[in-house]
Chains A and B, each alone.
Chain A
Amino acid sequence: MSSKDQQTYPLPELSAFTRPFWEGCQNKELKIAVCGQCSHRFMPGVPNCPKCWSADFSLQAVSGRGEVFSFAVYRRTYHPAIPAPYVVALIQLEEGPRLVSNIVECAFEKIHIGMQLEVCFQEEDGFMLPRFRPLETPPVDTN
């Protein structure tokens, strides 16, 4: 991350590997990568399939639904553009891959592992970030 200006929101630095994913987000599309050789599904941002090392993969838009794999509530501010409190979560997408994001539009005490979520895109400094909020009509909770 750039530390040029501590007040500026720490947006991703687009690289050849990550650009297609983030361009999808700008169009409000969450995409994963699917390997053409072994069908492994993984988060984009890498030059080849991490399972079989094939460079033959394509990006596909996904449902945007997932569940909380784990979450952490930041009570301390580490960056002035991201004031605490906020929730960082690992989201397990319905399609398999896992990503780091935030949980928004939800009281902290209601968040739990396994909670059903859906993606929502929120703008920071003109850049769309994929965040997650509780699924509107959650399926029956089997917990």
Chain B
Amino acid sequence: MTGQAVIGGIGHTAFGRLPERTAFDLEVEAARRTLEDAGLEPQDVDGLITDPGPSQGILDGITPHYLALGHYLGLDPSYTGSDILGGASSAAIVQRAVLAIEAGLCSVCLCVYGDSALSSPGSFGYGRGDDAAFGLFGAVGIHALAARRHMHLWGTREEHLAAVAIAARAHAARTPHAQKRDLLTLDEYLAADSIVEPLKRPDCCLVSDGAAAVLVVAAERAADLRHKPTRILGHGQASSLSTWSSLEHFDELPAARCGPETFARAGISAADVDVAMLYDCFTIVVLMQLEDYGFCGKGEAGAFVTEGRIGPGGELPVNTSGGLLAECYGGGMMHVIEAVRQLRGTAGDRQLDTPEIALVTGHGLGMNTHSTLILAN
């Protein structure tokens, strides 16, 4: 099932506050950089799948995102579409590209995330349907409820959440393009403003303008690529759409199904993972994924992260470019790109010592969606 598609190109724009740039302008730049990295030409692209990001989705009430972007890129692909799985979308569109290539529907599939979320204010603070009547706004409220559950069930403390934020900033300090390159101390964390208790500002991801793309290519075209291709050992998805009515919804993520199932299909276990790019919209999600993927037992993630395991030099480096918490909000595509860089050995000052297997995850909406990629050099 796997082995027929590889990642052959990566590219991204600057991230941060870029008010003079539209999301499409950024996405076109990311697409161009990705083709340059791959050494391929626009006419080689016969697949386009997009992750429109939190502030785009359906445009003008009728135009789907892939149609607008495909128009700007002048593409007439054999296979196209957009996925709207929130933060699980980026890994999910790479998965969809793999499936399309394995099915023979296309052979060079461009997967693009982009958004101008920072310059489109309010896009992260949306009301959650009728629950907005009770003040439930933004993804932060839902994750605060999950964090409180974790604290109640497992004795998790704010120092444990802080350890995730501190590790992210330590990684980002070695990442030239990261938005937050200054280190964070525990005292600074504890003194930070609460947004929605128990989550403080450093528990929350950045908001960014920017775009990122990867090129998924049929393995038989690997000889045409400029870089050694990154193999895709496995991919998965799991969702919890029943939301409030699911008794487990706040106590574990769909990752608890997606992770072990994807590991099994790839023929690996958590112990084989050299570096993990865990979707980190909020610190609590990193703790929950460490447990749900089996890197530690249920309830043990707090202790796991405070022992320095996920920071630079740790036994399981997590989000070596700083992730959503410190690098940028790159949808989840920047997690894919960082995994490719580490596996290629082109991660600069933050390069790990010859990692062979990288885990990439995506997590979205009201903790509803989850996606997994397992990449290898």
A contact set with B: CB distance below 8 Å: 1, 9-13, 18, 42-43, 45, 50, 69-76, 78-79, 82, 86, 88, 90, 97-102, 113, 124, 129, 131
Contacts of A90 in B (CB 8 A): 145, 244, 250
- The answer to whether A113 touches B152 (Cβ under 8 A) is yes
Q: Which residues of B contact A71 (CB under 8 A)?
A: 145, 148
Tell me the dominant secondary structure on chain A's binding face. Answer: strand
A42-B245, A79-B137, A102-B135 are known contacts; what are 5 more A-B pairs with Cβ within 8 Å? Answer: A10-B127, A12-B133, A43-B244, A73-B194, A75-B194
Within 8 A of A (CB), among B141-169: 141, 144-146, 148-149, 152
Residues of chain A contacted by B137 (CB below 8 angstroms): 74, 78-79
Cα distance, A69 to B250, chains bound together (Å): 9
Point out which of B130, B141, B242 has the most chain A C-beta atoms below 10 A from its C-beta: B130
Give chain B residues whose Cβ lies under 8 Å from the Cβ of A1. 127, 129-130, 132
Which of B129, B145, B198 is the one whose CB lies under 8 Å from A88?
Answer: B145
Query: Is residue B131 contacting chain A, with contact meaning CB distance below 8 A?
Result: yes
CA distance A92 to B148 in the complex (A): 15
B186 at the interface (CB under 8 A from A): no
Q: Is the CB of A100 within 8 A of B196?
A: no
Instruction: Give the interface centre of B125, B195, B242 by most chain A CB atoms within 10 Å.
Output: B195
In-complex Cβ contact of B134 among A45, A88, A98 (8 A): A88
B188 close to chain A: CB less than 8 A: no
- Chain A residue numbers with a CB within 8 Å of B244 are 43, 90, 98-100
Q: Across the interface, which residues of A come within 8 angstroms of B242, CB to CB?
A: 50
For B143, give the chain A residue with the smallest CB separation: A72
B197 at the interface (CB under 8 A from A): yes
In the complex, chain B residues whose CB is within 8 Å of the CB of A70: 145-146, 148-149, 152, 250
Q: Are B135 and A74 in contact (CB under 8 A)?
A: yes
Chain A residue, CB-CB nearest to B150: A70
Complex Cα distance, B114 from A51, in Å, reads 37
B130 and A12 contact, CB distance less than 8 A: yes
Within 8 A of A (CB), among B249-269: 250
Contact B125 A75 (CB under 8 A): no
Q: Which of B96-141 contact A (CB under 8 A)?
A: 125, 127, 129-138, 141
Question: Given A1-B127, A69-B250, A73-B194, A79 and B135 touching (CB < 8 A)?
Answer: yes
A-B interface pairs (CB < 8 A), number: 90
The interface residues of chain A lying within 8 Å CB-to-CB of B141 are 72, 74, 88
The yes or no answer to B307 lying at the interface (CB within 8 A) is no
Check if B144 sits within 8 Å of A72, measured CB to CB. yes
User: What total of chain B residues lie within 8 Å of the partner, measured CB to CB?
Assistant: 30
**Cβ-closest chain A residue relative to B135:** A82
Q: How far, in whole Å, are A101 and B136 apart by their CA atoms in the complex?
A: 9
* Least CB distance, B88 to chain A, in whole angstroms: 22
Q: Which residues of chain A come closer than 8 Å to B144, judged between CB atoms?
A: 72-73
Say yes or no: A88 contacts B135, CB within 8 Å: yes
B155 to chain A, nearest CB (A): 13
Minimal beta-carbon separation of B194 from chain A (angstroms): 4
Docked Cα-Cα span, A90 to B243, in Å, equals 12
Chain B residues closer than 8 Å to A101, beta-carbon distance: 134
Return A30 CB to nearest CB of chain B, in Å: 14
Q: Are B152 and A97 in contact (CB under 8 A)?
A: no
Given contacts A88-B136, A88-B141, A102-B135, contact A78 B197 (CB under 8 A): no
On whether the beta carbons of B136 and A113 are closer than 8 Å, the reply is: no
* Also in contact, A76 and B132, with CB within 8 A (given A10-B127, A70-B148): no
Distance A42 CA – B245 CA, assembled complex (angstroms): 7
Across-interface contacts of B245 in A (CB, < 8 A)? 42-43, 50, 97-98
Residue of A nearest to B153 (CB): A113
CB neighbours of A43 from chain B (8 A)? 244-245
Q: Is the CB of A18 within 8 A of B130?
A: yes
* B250: A residues at CB distance < 8 A: 69-70, 90
* Contact yes or no, A113 B135, CB < 8 A: no
A41: nearest chain-B partner, CB-CB: B245
With a cutoff of 8 Å between Cβ atoms, the chain A residues found around residue B138 in the complex are 78
Closest to B201 in A: A76
Instruction: Indicate whether A75 sits within 8 Å of B145 (C-beta atoms), given known contacts A1-B129, A69-B250, A90-B250.
Output: no
Query: Can you report 5 residue pairs joining A to B where beta carbons are below 8 Å apart?
Result: A18-B130, A79-B132, A82-B135, A90-B145, A102-B135
With most chain B CB atoms within 10 A of its CB, the pick from A43, A70, A71, A72 is A72
Using Cβ atoms and an 8 Å threshold, which residues of chain A touch B76? none
Q: Is A72 touching B148 in the complex (CB atoms < 8 A)?
A: yes
B193 within 8 A of A: yes
Evaluate contact between A102 and B134: CB separation under 8 angstroms: yes
**A residues near B132, Cβ cutoff 8 Å:** 1, 10, 79
Nearest-Cβ distance from residue B367 to partner chain A, whole angstroms: 12
Q: Which residues of chain B are within 8 angstroms of A86 by Cβ–Cβ distance? A: 135
